[in-house]
Amino acid sequence: MAVTADEVKARLAQVTAPDGRPVTATGALSEIVVSQGKVYLSITVDATQAQAWEPVRAAVERTVRATPGVVSALVALTAERRAGASAPAPAPAGHAHAGHNHAGHSHAAPARTPPADPQKEGRGIPGVGAIIAVASGKGGVGKSTLAANLALGLATLGLKVGLLDADIYGPSVPRLMGLHGKPEVQGKMLQPLQSWGLKVMSIGFLVGEETPMIWRGPMVMSAISQLLKEVDWAPLDVLVVDMPPGTGDAQLTMAQQVPLAGAVIVSTPQDLALIDARRGIAMFEKVNVPVLGVVENMSYFLCPHCGGRSDVFGHGGARHEAQRLRVPFLGEVPLQMAIRETSDAGRPIVATAPDSPEAEIYRGIARAVREALAGRHAGARPAPRIVVE
Protein backbone atom coordinates (compact mmCIF):
# COMPACT_ATOMS: atom_id res chain seq x y z
CA MET A 1 0.00 0.00 0.00
CA ALA A 2 1.37 3.42 -0.99
CA VAL A 3 2.47 5.70 1.81
CA THR A 4 0.78 9.11 2.10
CA ALA A 5 1.97 12.51 3.28
CA ASP A 6 -0.44 12.33 6.24
CA GLU A 7 1.09 9.02 7.36
CA VAL A 8 4.57 10.51 7.18
CA LYS A 9 3.46 13.59 9.11
CA ALA A 10 1.87 11.43 11.82
CA ARG A 11 5.18 9.62 12.28
CA LEU A 12 7.07 12.90 12.44
CA ALA A 13 4.95 14.02 15.39
CA GLN A 14 7.16 11.68 17.42
CA VAL A 15 10.29 13.74 16.61
CA THR A 16 11.10 16.47 19.13
CA ALA A 17 12.35 19.94 18.16
CA PRO A 18 15.09 21.68 20.17
CA ASP A 19 12.44 23.52 22.22
CA GLY A 20 10.77 20.25 23.22
CA ARG A 21 7.74 20.54 20.96
CA PRO A 22 6.86 17.95 18.29
CA VAL A 23 8.56 19.03 15.10
CA THR A 24 5.18 19.05 13.37
CA ALA A 25 4.01 21.78 15.75
CA THR A 26 6.87 24.19 15.09
CA GLY A 27 5.84 25.43 11.66
CA ALA A 28 9.32 24.59 10.37
CA LEU A 29 8.28 21.71 8.09
CA SER A 30 7.54 22.32 4.43
CA GLU A 31 4.84 20.52 2.51
CA ILE A 32 5.62 16.79 2.45
CA VAL A 33 5.90 15.56 -1.14
CA VAL A 34 5.46 11.82 -1.73
CA SER A 35 6.01 10.20 -5.13
CA GLN A 36 6.25 6.46 -5.68
CA GLY A 37 7.42 5.89 -2.12
CA LYS A 38 10.01 8.66 -2.33
CA VAL A 39 9.56 11.47 0.20
CA TYR A 40 10.84 15.04 -0.05
CA LEU A 41 10.59 17.82 2.52
CA SER A 42 12.57 20.67 4.02
CA ILE A 43 12.92 22.19 7.49
CA THR A 44 13.24 25.98 7.56
CA VAL A 45 14.76 27.63 10.64
CA ASP A 46 16.65 30.77 11.52
CA ALA A 47 20.33 30.55 10.59
CA THR A 48 21.39 31.09 14.19
CA GLN A 49 19.55 27.87 15.14
CA ALA A 50 20.88 25.73 12.30
CA GLN A 51 23.43 23.81 14.38
CA ALA A 52 20.82 22.92 17.01
CA TRP A 53 18.39 21.73 14.33
CA GLU A 54 20.80 19.46 12.45
CA PRO A 55 20.21 16.49 14.83
CA VAL A 56 16.48 17.08 14.35
CA ARG A 57 16.90 16.95 10.58
CA ALA A 58 18.77 13.66 10.92
CA ALA A 59 16.03 12.27 13.19
CA VAL A 60 13.35 13.37 10.73
CA GLU A 61 15.18 11.62 7.90
CA ARG A 62 15.56 8.41 9.91
CA THR A 63 11.88 8.49 10.89
CA VAL A 64 10.74 9.06 7.32
CA ARG A 65 12.95 6.25 6.00
CA ALA A 66 11.54 3.90 8.69
CA THR A 67 7.93 4.61 7.69
CA PRO A 68 6.35 1.57 5.98
CA GLY A 69 6.09 2.13 2.24
CA VAL A 70 8.94 4.68 2.04
CA VAL A 71 11.80 3.63 -0.25
CA SER A 72 13.92 6.79 0.01
CA ALA A 73 13.86 10.20 1.63
CA LEU A 74 15.40 13.61 1.00
CA VAL A 75 15.27 15.99 3.97
CA ALA A 76 16.99 19.37 3.66
CA LEU A 77 17.63 21.90 6.41
CA THR A 78 17.10 25.43 5.09
CA ALA A 79 18.50 28.20 7.26
CA GLU A 80 17.32 31.77 6.77
CA ARG A 81 18.88 34.77 8.47
CA ARG A 82 16.51 37.37 9.89
CA ALA A 83 16.95 40.94 8.70
CA GLY A 84 19.56 42.62 10.85
CA ALA A 85 20.72 39.40 12.48
CA SER A 86 24.43 38.94 12.91
CA ALA A 87 26.17 36.04 11.22
CA PRO A 88 26.59 32.94 13.37
CA ALA A 89 30.09 32.01 14.45
CA PRO A 90 32.01 29.75 12.06
CA ALA A 91 31.57 26.05 12.68
CA PRO A 92 34.38 24.16 14.39
CA ALA A 93 37.03 22.58 12.21
CA GLY A 94 35.85 19.33 10.72
CA HIS A 95 32.14 20.26 10.89
CA ALA A 96 30.29 19.26 7.73
CA HIS A 97 29.15 22.07 5.46
CA ALA A 98 27.07 22.43 2.36
CA GLY A 99 29.47 20.53 0.13
CA HIS A 100 29.22 17.30 2.15
CA ASN A 101 28.55 14.29 -0.05
CA HIS A 102 25.95 12.70 2.23
CA ALA A 103 22.57 12.91 0.52
CA GLY A 104 19.97 14.69 2.58
CA HIS A 105 22.66 16.31 4.77
CA SER A 106 22.08 19.78 6.11
CA HIS A 107 22.97 22.63 3.82
CA ALA A 108 22.22 25.10 6.56
CA ALA A 109 25.68 26.62 6.88
CA PRO A 110 25.61 30.31 5.96
CA ALA A 111 26.84 31.24 2.51
CA ARG A 112 30.01 32.90 3.81
CA THR A 113 31.21 29.77 5.59
CA PRO A 114 33.79 27.92 3.47
CA PRO A 115 33.16 24.24 2.80
CA ALA A 116 35.09 21.44 4.40
CA ASP A 117 38.32 20.22 2.89
CA PRO A 118 37.51 19.58 -0.80
CA GLN A 119 40.16 16.91 -1.03
CA LYS A 120 38.03 14.88 1.40
CA GLU A 121 34.53 16.14 0.63
CA GLY A 122 34.87 16.43 -3.16
CA ARG A 123 35.79 12.87 -4.03
CA GLY A 124 34.75 11.53 -7.40
CA ILE A 125 32.04 8.95 -7.95
CA PRO A 126 33.40 5.41 -7.60
CA GLY A 127 33.66 3.68 -10.97
CA VAL A 128 33.11 6.89 -12.97
CA GLY A 129 35.95 8.40 -14.99
CA ALA A 130 35.35 11.94 -16.23
CA ILE A 131 32.36 14.06 -15.22
CA ILE A 132 31.49 16.92 -17.55
CA ALA A 133 28.84 19.59 -17.12
CA VAL A 134 26.79 20.89 -20.05
CA ALA A 135 25.74 24.38 -19.06
CA SER A 136 24.24 27.60 -20.37
CA GLY A 137 23.91 31.08 -19.01
CA LYS A 138 20.20 31.18 -19.83
CA GLY A 139 17.37 28.80 -20.69
CA GLY A 140 15.92 28.07 -24.09
CA VAL A 141 19.20 27.62 -25.96
CA GLY A 142 18.87 23.85 -26.53
CA LYS A 143 21.25 22.77 -23.77
CA SER A 144 19.40 19.56 -22.88
CA THR A 145 19.15 18.46 -26.51
CA LEU A 146 22.87 19.09 -26.87
CA ALA A 147 23.64 17.17 -23.67
CA ALA A 148 21.64 14.13 -24.78
CA ASN A 149 23.15 13.98 -28.25
CA LEU A 150 26.65 14.71 -26.92
CA ALA A 151 26.32 11.75 -24.55
CA LEU A 152 25.19 9.55 -27.41
CA GLY A 153 28.02 10.85 -29.58
CA LEU A 154 30.56 9.94 -26.91
CA ALA A 155 29.01 6.46 -26.73
CA THR A 156 29.52 6.01 -30.48
CA LEU A 157 33.24 6.54 -29.82
CA GLY A 158 33.27 3.37 -27.74
CA LEU A 159 32.92 4.98 -24.31
CA LYS A 160 30.60 3.87 -21.53
CA VAL A 161 28.46 6.94 -20.90
CA GLY A 162 25.87 8.09 -18.38
CA LEU A 163 23.52 11.07 -18.60
CA LEU A 164 22.42 12.89 -15.43
CA ASP A 165 19.60 15.41 -15.70
CA ALA A 166 20.52 17.92 -12.98
CA ASP A 167 18.09 20.53 -14.30
CA ILE A 168 15.99 20.27 -11.14
CA TYR A 169 13.44 22.92 -12.07
CA GLY A 170 12.87 21.79 -15.66
CA PRO A 171 13.91 18.15 -16.19
CA SER A 172 13.54 17.31 -19.88
CA VAL A 173 15.89 14.34 -20.30
CA PRO A 174 13.12 11.75 -19.65
CA ARG A 175 11.22 13.04 -22.70
CA LEU A 176 14.35 13.51 -24.79
CA MET A 177 15.42 9.92 -24.13
CA GLY A 178 11.94 8.40 -24.39
CA LEU A 179 11.90 7.17 -20.78
CA HIS A 180 8.79 6.91 -18.61
CA GLY A 181 9.64 4.40 -15.87
CA LYS A 182 10.66 4.75 -12.26
CA PRO A 183 14.13 3.84 -10.98
CA GLU A 184 14.36 0.80 -8.72
CA VAL A 185 16.16 0.88 -5.40
CA GLN A 186 18.70 -1.82 -4.56
CA GLY A 187 20.03 -1.43 -1.06
CA LYS A 188 20.55 2.31 -0.71
CA MET A 189 21.30 2.93 -4.38
CA LEU A 190 18.95 4.08 -7.12
CA GLN A 191 19.34 2.11 -10.34
CA PRO A 192 19.60 4.34 -13.42
CA LEU A 193 17.30 3.67 -16.33
CA GLN A 194 18.72 2.58 -19.68
CA SER A 195 18.06 4.28 -23.01
CA TRP A 196 19.89 4.05 -26.34
CA GLY A 197 22.88 2.47 -24.60
CA LEU A 198 23.18 5.15 -21.89
CA LYS A 199 22.60 5.02 -18.14
CA VAL A 200 20.15 7.83 -17.39
CA MET A 201 18.92 9.45 -14.18
CA SER A 202 16.67 12.48 -13.70
CA ILE A 203 14.59 14.06 -10.96
CA GLY A 204 11.86 13.81 -13.59
CA PHE A 205 11.67 10.06 -12.92
CA LEU A 206 10.74 10.74 -9.31
CA VAL A 207 8.03 13.38 -9.78
CA GLY A 208 5.23 13.88 -12.27
CA GLU A 209 5.98 15.68 -15.53
CA GLU A 210 3.65 18.54 -14.60
CA THR A 211 4.66 18.76 -10.93
CA PRO A 212 6.13 22.21 -10.19
CA MET A 213 9.54 22.02 -8.54
CA ILE A 214 9.21 24.80 -5.96
CA TRP A 215 12.37 24.08 -3.98
CA ARG A 216 14.65 26.30 -1.97
CA GLY A 217 18.34 26.38 -2.85
CA PRO A 218 19.43 23.89 -0.17
CA MET A 219 16.87 21.36 -1.40
CA VAL A 220 18.28 21.72 -4.92
CA MET A 221 21.76 21.11 -3.56
CA SER A 222 20.63 18.06 -1.61
CA ALA A 223 18.80 16.60 -4.60
CA ILE A 224 21.81 16.98 -6.88
CA SER A 225 24.03 15.42 -4.24
CA GLN A 226 21.70 12.44 -4.03
CA LEU A 227 21.54 12.03 -7.81
CA LEU A 228 25.33 12.05 -7.92
CA LYS A 229 26.18 9.92 -4.91
CA GLU A 230 23.23 7.56 -4.45
CA VAL A 231 22.87 6.29 -8.02
CA ASP A 232 24.59 3.12 -9.20
CA TRP A 233 26.49 4.76 -12.08
CA ALA A 234 29.55 2.49 -12.32
CA PRO A 235 31.20 1.53 -14.52
CA LEU A 236 31.32 4.64 -16.71
CA ASP A 237 34.02 6.35 -18.72
CA VAL A 238 32.10 9.64 -18.86
CA LEU A 239 29.11 11.06 -16.99
CA VAL A 240 27.46 13.93 -18.89
CA VAL A 241 25.50 16.26 -16.59
CA ASP A 242 22.75 18.44 -18.03
CA MET A 243 22.88 21.47 -15.73
CA PRO A 244 20.10 23.96 -15.04
CA PRO A 245 20.66 27.30 -16.73
CA GLY A 246 22.38 30.10 -14.85
CA THR A 247 25.15 30.37 -12.28
CA GLY A 248 23.53 29.49 -8.96
CA ASP A 249 23.28 26.79 -6.31
CA ALA A 250 23.28 23.84 -8.71
CA GLN A 251 26.50 24.89 -10.44
CA LEU A 252 28.29 25.52 -7.14
CA THR A 253 27.06 22.21 -5.76
CA MET A 254 28.42 20.33 -8.77
CA ALA A 255 31.78 22.06 -8.48
CA GLN A 256 31.97 21.20 -4.76
CA GLN A 257 30.59 17.67 -4.86
CA VAL A 258 32.71 16.11 -7.59
CA PRO A 259 35.99 16.81 -9.42
CA LEU A 260 34.55 18.08 -12.70
CA ALA A 261 36.77 17.33 -15.68
CA GLY A 262 35.30 20.30 -17.49
CA ALA A 263 32.27 22.19 -18.73
CA VAL A 264 30.71 22.61 -22.16
CA ILE A 265 28.94 25.96 -22.60
CA VAL A 266 25.95 26.15 -24.96
CA SER A 267 24.77 29.42 -26.48
CA THR A 268 22.81 30.72 -29.43
CA PRO A 269 24.51 33.33 -31.63
CA GLN A 270 22.64 36.47 -30.56
CA ASP A 271 24.11 39.02 -28.19
CA LEU A 272 21.56 38.50 -25.40
CA ALA A 273 22.45 34.81 -25.11
CA LEU A 274 26.18 35.51 -25.37
CA ILE A 275 26.06 37.90 -22.42
CA ASP A 276 24.81 35.06 -20.24
CA ALA A 277 27.25 32.59 -21.79
CA ARG A 278 30.10 34.88 -20.72
CA ARG A 279 28.83 34.70 -17.15
CA GLY A 280 28.76 30.91 -17.34
CA ILE A 281 32.32 30.73 -18.62
CA ALA A 282 33.51 33.17 -15.96
CA MET A 283 31.75 31.23 -13.20
CA PHE A 284 33.38 27.92 -14.11
CA GLU A 285 36.77 29.55 -14.44
CA LYS A 286 36.34 31.20 -11.03
CA VAL A 287 35.72 27.83 -9.36
CA ASN A 288 38.68 26.28 -11.21
CA VAL A 289 36.66 24.07 -13.57
CA PRO A 290 38.16 24.00 -17.08
CA VAL A 291 35.90 25.09 -19.93
CA LEU A 292 36.20 22.37 -22.56
CA GLY A 293 34.61 24.59 -25.14
CA VAL A 294 31.62 26.50 -26.48
CA VAL A 295 28.89 25.21 -28.79
CA GLU A 296 26.82 27.55 -30.95
CA ASN A 297 23.34 26.01 -31.02
CA MET A 298 20.61 27.08 -33.47
CA SER A 299 23.50 28.50 -35.44
CA TYR A 300 21.62 28.76 -38.75
CA PHE A 301 18.50 27.46 -40.47
CA LEU A 302 18.46 25.47 -43.71
CA CYS A 303 15.09 25.48 -45.45
CA PRO A 304 14.00 21.86 -45.99
CA HIS A 305 12.23 22.87 -49.22
CA CYS A 306 14.63 25.18 -51.07
CA GLY A 307 17.86 24.55 -49.18
CA GLY A 308 18.29 28.26 -48.53
CA ARG A 309 20.15 29.32 -45.42
CA SER A 310 18.87 31.88 -42.92
CA ASP A 311 20.82 33.13 -39.91
CA VAL A 312 17.74 33.49 -37.72
CA PHE A 313 19.64 34.46 -34.57
CA GLY A 314 22.69 35.87 -36.30
CA HIS A 315 25.72 33.67 -36.87
CA GLY A 316 29.22 33.20 -35.52
CA GLY A 317 28.70 35.04 -32.25
CA ALA A 318 29.63 32.06 -30.09
CA ARG A 319 32.73 31.33 -32.20
CA HIS A 320 33.87 34.93 -31.89
CA GLU A 321 33.21 34.89 -28.14
CA ALA A 322 35.18 31.67 -27.70
CA GLN A 323 38.10 33.18 -29.57
CA ARG A 324 37.91 36.37 -27.51
CA LEU A 325 37.88 34.44 -24.23
CA ARG A 326 40.52 31.98 -25.48
CA VAL A 327 38.44 28.85 -24.99
CA PRO A 328 37.92 26.13 -27.62
CA PHE A 329 35.04 26.40 -30.08
CA LEU A 330 33.45 22.97 -30.42
CA GLY A 331 31.06 23.43 -33.31
CA GLU A 332 27.85 24.80 -34.79
CA VAL A 333 24.52 22.99 -34.55
CA PRO A 334 21.85 24.14 -37.01
CA LEU A 335 18.21 24.89 -36.25
CA GLN A 336 16.72 21.85 -37.96
CA MET A 337 13.27 20.26 -37.97
CA ALA A 338 14.79 16.79 -37.73
CA ILE A 339 16.52 17.62 -34.44
CA ARG A 340 13.34 19.08 -32.96
CA GLU A 341 11.13 16.21 -34.14
CA THR A 342 13.40 13.43 -32.90
CA SER A 343 13.92 15.19 -29.57
CA ASP A 344 10.19 15.64 -28.95
CA ALA A 345 9.60 12.00 -29.88
CA GLY A 346 12.22 10.67 -27.46
CA ARG A 347 14.30 9.38 -30.36
CA PRO A 348 17.48 11.49 -30.32
CA ILE A 349 18.94 11.99 -33.74
CA VAL A 350 22.41 10.58 -33.02
CA ALA A 351 20.79 7.27 -32.04
CA THR A 352 18.00 7.06 -34.63
CA ALA A 353 19.50 8.80 -37.67
CA PRO A 354 23.23 8.15 -37.27
CA ASP A 355 23.96 8.79 -40.96
CA SER A 356 22.32 12.22 -41.01
CA PRO A 357 24.40 15.40 -41.30
CA GLU A 358 23.03 16.55 -37.94
CA ALA A 359 24.19 13.38 -36.18
CA GLU A 360 27.67 13.85 -37.65
CA ILE A 361 27.77 17.38 -36.23
CA TYR A 362 27.05 16.04 -32.76
CA ARG A 363 29.66 13.31 -33.19
CA GLY A 364 32.18 15.96 -34.21
CA ILE A 365 31.47 17.84 -31.01
CA ALA A 366 31.84 14.59 -29.06
CA ARG A 367 35.23 13.93 -30.67
CA ALA A 368 36.38 17.43 -29.75
CA VAL A 369 35.23 16.91 -26.16
CA ARG A 370 37.00 13.56 -25.94
CA GLU A 371 40.22 15.13 -27.21
CA ALA A 372 39.89 17.97 -24.69
CA LEU A 373 39.37 15.46 -21.88
CA ALA A 374 42.39 13.46 -22.96
CA GLY A 375 44.48 16.61 -23.05
CA ARG A 376 43.46 17.56 -19.52
CA HIS A 377 43.95 14.10 -17.97
CA ALA A 378 40.27 13.79 -17.05
CA GLY A 379 39.48 12.70 -13.54
CA ALA A 380 42.83 13.77 -12.06
CA ARG A 381 41.70 17.25 -11.13
CA PRO A 382 40.68 17.74 -7.47
CA ALA A 383 37.43 19.46 -6.65
CA PRO A 384 37.96 23.17 -5.98
CA ARG A 385 37.54 24.93 -2.66
CA ILE A 386 34.75 27.46 -3.05
CA VAL A 387 34.15 30.45 -0.80
CA VAL A 388 31.04 32.42 -1.80
CA GLU A 389 31.37 36.12 -1.07
Q: What is the pLDDT of residue 80?
A: 53
Cα distance between residue 32 and residue 39, in whole Å: 7
Q: Is residue 381 included in any domain, yes or no?
A: no
Per-residue pLDDT of the chain (389 residues; tens, 9 = 90+): 688 989 999 999 999 999 999 999 998 888 888 877 888 787 888 877 878 888 998 899 899 999 999 988 878 776 554 444 443 333 333 333 333 333 334 343 333 333 333 333 445 789 999 999 998 876 778 899 999 999 999 999 999 999 999 887 778 999 999 998 888 888 778 899 999 999 999 988 876 665 655 555 566 677 788 888 889 999 999 999 998 877 666 677 677 778 889 999 998 887 666 777 778 788 888 888 899 999 998 888 877 778 777 877 767 777 888 888 888 999 999 988 999 999 999 999 999 999 999 999 999 999 999 999 987 654 444 444 433 33
Quick one: 220 and 95 in the same domain? no
Please give the tally of structural domains in the chain.
Answer: 2
CATH code of the domain in which 18 resides = 3.30.300.130
CATH code of the domain in which 170 resides = 3.40.50.300
Quick one: 325 and 272 in the same domain? yes
Q: Which of 117, 147, 165 is the last residue of a domain?
A: 117
Quick one: 234 and 106 in the same domain? no
Q: Based on the number of CB atoms within 10 Å of its own CB, is 324 exposed (0-12), middle (13-18) or buried (19 or more)?
A: exposed
Cα 216 to chain centroid, rounded: 15
Q: What is the pLDDT of residue 304?
A: 75
Q: Is residue 389 included in any domain, yes or no?
A: no
Quick one: 176 and 111 in the same domain? no
Q: Is residue 260 included in any domain, yes or no?
A: yes
Quick one: 88 and 149 in the same domain? no
16 contacts 57 by C-beta, under 8 angstroms:
no
Give bridge partners of residue 43 from the DSSP assignment: 29, 77
Instruction: Show the domain range for 338.
Output: 128-375
DSSP 8-state assignment for residue 23: G
Quick one: 113 and 197 in the same domain? no
385 contacts 289 by C-beta, under 8 angstroms:
no
Q: Which of 117, 138, 163 is the last residue of a domain?
A: 117
Quick one: 271 and 195 in the same domain? yes
Quick one: 98 and 160 in the same domain? no
Quick one: 138 and 52 in the same domain? no
Quick one: 202 and 298 in the same domain? yes
3 contacts 69 by C-beta, under 8 angstroms:
yes
Q: Is residue 152 included in any domain, yes or no?
A: yes
51 contacts 91 by C-beta, under 8 angstroms:
yes
| Concatenated DSSP letters of 180-237 | -----EETTEEPPEEETTEEEEEGGGTS-TT------HHHHHHHHHHHHHSB---SEE
34 contacts 3 by C-beta, under 8 angstroms:
yes
Identity at 232, one-letter amino acid code: D
Q: Is residue 387 included in any domain, yes or no?
A: no
Quick one: 153 and 177 in the same domain? yes
Quick one: 50 and 197 in the same domain? no
Q: Which of 70, 87, 117 is the last residue of a domain?
A: 117
Q: Is residue 302 included in any domain, yes or no?
A: yes
Q: In 101-212, where do the E strands start and end?
A: 128-135, 161-165, 185-186, 189-190, 193-195, 198-202
Cα distance between residue 172 and residue 336, in whole Å: 19
